[in-house]
Chains A and B, each alone.
Chain A
Amino acid sequence: MDEMVGLAPSGSMGSGYNLDAFERGLAANPHFIGQDAGSTDMGPYYHGTGAPFLPLATYRYDLSFMLRAARQRRIPLLVGSALTSGCNSALEQAVQIVRELAREHGLKFRMAVIGAEINKADLKRRMAQARFESLGPREELSADTLDLCGPIVAQMGTEPFIRALDAGAEVVIAGRACDDAIFAAMPIMHGFDKGLSLHCGKILECAGLSAIPYDLAEPLLGRVRRDHFEVEPCHPDHRCTTVSVAGHSLYERGDPCMQPGPGGMNDLTDAKFTQLDPRRVKVSGSRFVPDATYRVKLEGAEQVGFRSIVIVGIRDPIMIRQIDSILDAARRRAGERFQAAGIHLTYRIYGKNAVMGELEPDAHLISHELGLVIDVVAPTQDLATGVAMFVRGTLQHASYPGIVTTAGNMAYPFSPFGIPIGPAYRFAVYHLMPLADPCECFPMTIEEVK
């Protein structure tokens, strides 16, 4: 075997993808289809609750084409980080969709399901035995923090995928996984270089985001060979360029050259990007350097309370000129009325500085109308809604110098005004955990689906 060809339908399962281009990708005879289905990117809520980012029907729609294509061609389908956080409950929802699709379309296959959620008691035992290096949280990771968290997941590397393929799996549905591992497993299993395989995986995981025009919903092909890999968009009018591919090598990574992952560092210092033709780029020189100790990244989000919001518009120019002092006064009133601990009131003033806050370089500019989100996090949902509605009421009839609109200060886009959002979270676990065996906390079950 002199190459291993992978096809990535889309950069994010559930968002849809170009099916014509996907067909073109299949015509290139890929050896496998890989699909990333999760991230921490959408914030801590999804890790905290374990809820998938999108309605299940969207995943089902996306999966139906890739599952049928993979079975028709007798090539493996590998899905990682299902669904969103990749915890057990979300994984089970993905597996259920796969079973239903198999029944619906009369498909038979061997499926491997790989868990990535770590039991908290097991985690506490491990914490007592080894130091977990923080990749962000400033506080030391404690057992109490774990108890406040939703499901804790670890990002698996290529090894659990390879074990599943070795067991004859034709469909692999995995919980939280390192994005590039989903695509690197097949080439590594067949003896291709680990650095090239992972780098190619890193380009494939976001599919068409590495091509021009940038589009997450455009399928991408990657061909790993002995001393290089090659990437090509499936859409005939799209193109990979040395800059788009090298640029994507930087995407969402802290360092352009040293990219850490499970078990080691992918060193792109000597990576060379060559334009083969207007649509294809060849990459060589990426090099995997194993760590002395195999470590995986843990992720978890702790609950910090419940969030409720009110969204309003303010148009009066006299009020807009004094917006800061008016909002400060309402905050003081709320502080006098509600004295419980753990209440956080955040004003998000769109049209002023909601996006950048103190960093806003155009602080002197202010729009002719403002969108205000009154955002309250409090220990209970009722208290959060109560505070948000109190602030709303105070602002609605606040008096200020020069007021002319004595019938009310704010426009509401809809009713109801107070919106309970549910639990609020923050990432509290983002640490490296040492493992003796790369598969030890990623249990696999094999199921004959028919």
Chain B
Amino acid sequence: MTSQPQTLASLANVIRSKNAGPFELTFDIMFDNVTAYERVKKSGVINAARIAEAYRVHVDDVLVCRPYDAAVAFKITLRRPVGSGDIEDRDVYGCQQHVPLTRLEVPASPELGSLNLR
């Protein structure tokens, strides 16, 4: 059984952004099924270089980019290009910056359906 390429939005059930303090922007990508999470994890599409490109920041400003199995989730944290509420800021809470992530394309998986961590 194989799968088609899919957007991250069609595989995850929460993709959110929020400040982690005024100088960091953090993203949580959460799944309600381990199979989809494992597929994304194995695909490697969530990596610092891709995130830096999507958010046009230097890769050094991607402070965290990793899976967290206990929450069946990925965690990504960027240094905010502009501090929360500073003159040029556009989103004080930082909670509407998730859209580029929803469109990340997860490639087809040749081994879908057999993975379960629990």
Contact = CB atoms under 8 A, between A and B. Distances in A.
Given A137-B23, A254-B64, A304-B87, A246 B70 contact: yes
B22 A346 contact: no
Contacts of B96: 355-356
Contacts of A247: 14, 28, 30, 71, 73
B111 interface: no
A346 B70 contact: no
A430 B22 contact: yes
A243 interface: yes
Nearest to B83: A427
B32 A243 contact: yes
Contacts of A356: 90-91, 96-97, 99
B75 A256 contact: yes
A243 B28 contact: no
A243 B71 contact: yes
Contacts of B32: 243
Nearest to A361: B100
Interface in A263-296: 268, 271-273
B92 interface: yes
Contact of B24 (A136, A344, A361, A377): A136
Interface stretch (A6-14, A40-48, A227-235, A390-398): A40-48
B112 to A, nearest CB: 21
A326 interface: no
B102 to A, nearest CB: 10
A251 B72 contact: no
A358 interface: yes
Contact of B68 (A40, A41, A250, A251): A250
Nearest to B97: A356
Contacts of A135: 21, 23
Interface in B15-29: 18-24, 26, 28
Nearest to A426: B86
Contacts of B89: 43
B63 interface: yes
A359 B20 contact: no
A426 B79 CA distance: 16
Given A254-B63, A254-B77, A426-B85, A249 B71 contact: yes
Contact of B83 (A257, A271, A426): A426
Contacts of B73: 243, 246-247, 250, 256
A425 B84 CA distance: 10
A104 to B, nearest CB: 35
Interface string A416-430: 000000001111001
5 contacts: A41-B93, A43-B92, A136-B22, A136-B23, A304-B86
Closest 3 CB pairs of A and B: A136-B23, A43-B85, A246-B71
